[in-house]
Structure 1
C-alpha cells in the first residue's frame, strides 16, 4: 500500500506480453540477478490498489508485500515537524499569556498606586432603594458681612465693654514710629467739666459727656496730655468736636510737673464713633510754643494717633467677639 512517498522503480510492460514483468530473462520464475532493465525515463507504471509489488531485491524470499520504507520515513518526519510546530506555537501562546498577565498586574499596580496617592477613586453612595444619594445642597443666600468695628464704638448698646484710663492707655511707655514716650499720671472722672479748661466743659456737658479719661506722656522736655470724652452717640461726639473751645486740662504727677499754665500750648480736638479726643502739648519748662517747634507738633500728632488707634481697637475687639459668639 502506497503512503504517498516515492516508490521503488517498476519495469515497464513489454508490448504483446501483458501481465509479464520485464526483469530480463526469467530463471526459475525469478528475475535474473544483475540483468534488471531500467524503465524508460518518465514512464513509471502506476501501482494498482491491492496489486502485489515485485520484490526489489533479487533472491529475497517473501510471500507478502514489501513495506514502502521511504514513505514511512517521510511520514515520520512530517509528524515530527508538526509536533515541533505545535510545541513552538504553544510556547508562543504561553509567552503571550504570561505577558498579558504581567501587563494586567502592572496596570492594576499602577491603578492601586494612583488611588493611594490621590485618595482613591470617588464612589457614589447608593441608598437601599437603589437610587443614588442626592448631592448636598447649599443655600443661595450670601452670608452676612463681618461686623464693622465702627458700629461697636458708635452704638452704646453694642459698646458695652468696660473702659478705664489704664485700659485705654496701658503700660508705662509707648513707641510711635521709633519715638519713645514715657507715661506719667492717668485719671478717669465722670465730672467732665473738671477735666477740661476754658469753655470746653460747657460744650461737653451740653452734648451729654459721660466721662473723661486722661493720660500724660513726656519726651525730650515736651509734655502731652491726651483726654478721651465718652458720649451717648456718635452725633453728640461729632458736635462736641466741632464746637470745642479751650482744651483738655494738663495732668501733672508721676514725675511730670505742671505745664501749660500761663503760656501758649498746642491744643487739638477730633472724634471717632461716640468718642471725642483732645490733646494739649507744650514744653515742660513753661516755654511757649511757636510754629517752629516741630517736636511739639510731632508729639501732638503721635498722641492723637495713639488715642484713635486705641478707640478703634476697642471696636474691633468687640466686633470679633460678636462674630465668634454661638448663634451669631
Structure 2
C-alpha cells in the first residue's frame, strides 16, 4: 500500500516478451550497462518521462542514499494514532448517546404501563392495586354505614328525681344523709353529735315551725347536730310529696327547728337568741338553728356562728343533690325496659 504517494505501476507483463527489462525499470544489457544508459540519461525504463515530471518517491520515504526518512515515518505514525483516538472518542460518545436513549425509552414505557403509586393514589377511574391482586372499591355499590337521624335522649336530670316522692325512691336515713362522726368542710372540722328521724314533723318545730310543716303535709324530718369551738348547730331536713309543697313550707317558715342535744352536745339555743335559716331543694326543705353552747346571745358580729350555719347549710344542699345525681346516673345506665 502507499503512504500518500502515487500508485506506481508494477512490473509490466508482456506475454512472449524477451526484451529483458529490469523489473524496477532498467533494461537488461549483456555484459553490463553501456555508457549512456537510461539511468544516466534520467529516463524511465520505458524511455518516457516520469509521471508528473518528477522522480519517483520511495513508498517508505527512503532518501536517495538508501536511508529511511525517519521524520516522515514518525509523522505518518502520529497521524495514524490521532485518527485512532478520534475514532475511539467518537465511538464512546455514540455509545453513551445510545444508552441514554434506551434508558429514556424504558422510563417512558414503564411510566405508561405501571400504575401510579405516588402520593395521591390512582388517577381517574383507576383503582389502587393492593397485594395479592386485591383492589380498593371505587364505586358506592358496597354496604354503607348508616346513622340514625333520631338524636339520643338527653341524660336524666337529677332534679327530676328530687322533685317528687314518686321518683325519689333511693333509701334515706340519718346516717346516709349525715355520714360519719366528723365533718370536714374546707379547713374546718366539725364533730357530729346526736341524730334523729321522725314522721311527727310538728314535734320537731318550735315557735311556729311545727304548724307550718303540718300544714304542708310534711312526711318526715331527719335531724343532726354538729359542734365546733363552742358553737353548735342543728340541721332539720323535712320531706314532702313534691317540690311545690317544700317550696311553700320554706316561704311560710317561722320559728326554727328544735335543737337536738346528746352525743356530747349539751343544751343550747334555749331562752336566748340564735341564728335561724331555711331553704328548699326539690321536695326537701331544710332548716338550721345555730348558737353558742354557753347560752350566749348571738349578734351580727359573731362570724363564727354565721360561718358554722353556712357550712352546714352548704353540706346539706350537696347531700340532697347527690341523691338526685346518683339516681339519674343509675337510670342512664339501666337496660331499656327495666330488664
What's the TM-score, normalizing by structure 1?
0.67
Q: Which has the larger radius of gyration?
A: 2
Question: For 1:81-105, what per-residue CA distance to the aligned partner results, in whole angstroms no more than 9, with x for missing partners?
Answer: 55433444466579989999xxxxx
How does 1:28-67 map onto structure 2 within 5 Å?
A: 28=46, 37-38=53-54, 57=59
Question: For 1:273-312, what per-residue CA distance to the aligned partner results, in whole angstroms no more than 9, with x for missing partners?
Answer: 0000000111111222222322212211221111111111
2 CA distance for matches of 1:125 and 1:98? 29
2:244 to 215, 235, 238: 235
- 1:181 partnered with 2:190: yes
2:5 matched residue in structure 1: 8
How does 1:277-288 map onto structure 2 within 5 Å?
A: 277-288=286-297
- 1:323 partnered with 2:323: no
2 CA distance for matches of 1:131 and 1:256? 78
1:224 to 221, 224, 233: 233
1:301 matched residue in structure 2: 310
1:273 matched residue in structure 2: 282
Segments of 5+ residues of structure 1 without an aligned counterpart are 12-23, 40-53, 59-68, 101-107, 112-120
> What RMSD over aligned residues (CA atoms) do the two structures have, in Å?
4.3
2 CA distance for matches of 1:259 and 1:78? 127
2:92 to 81, 84, 89: 84
Change (3 A) 1:81 1:267: closer
2:267 matched residue in structure 1: 258
Change (3 A) 1:75 1:302: closer
Name the count of aligned residue pairs. 269
Segments of 5+ residues of structure 2 without an aligned counterpart are 9-41, 61-75, 109-115, 120-128
Q: CA deviation at 1:253?
A: 0.9
Indicate if the aligned counterparts of 1:147 and 1:323 stay in contact, CA closer than 8 A.
yes
Question: For 1:196-216, what per-residue CA distance to the aligned partner results, in whole angstroms no more than 9, with x for missing partners?
Answer: 223222221222211111110
1 CA distance for matches of 2:309 and 2:82? 124
- 1:26 partnered with 2:34: no
2:322 matched residue in structure 1: 313
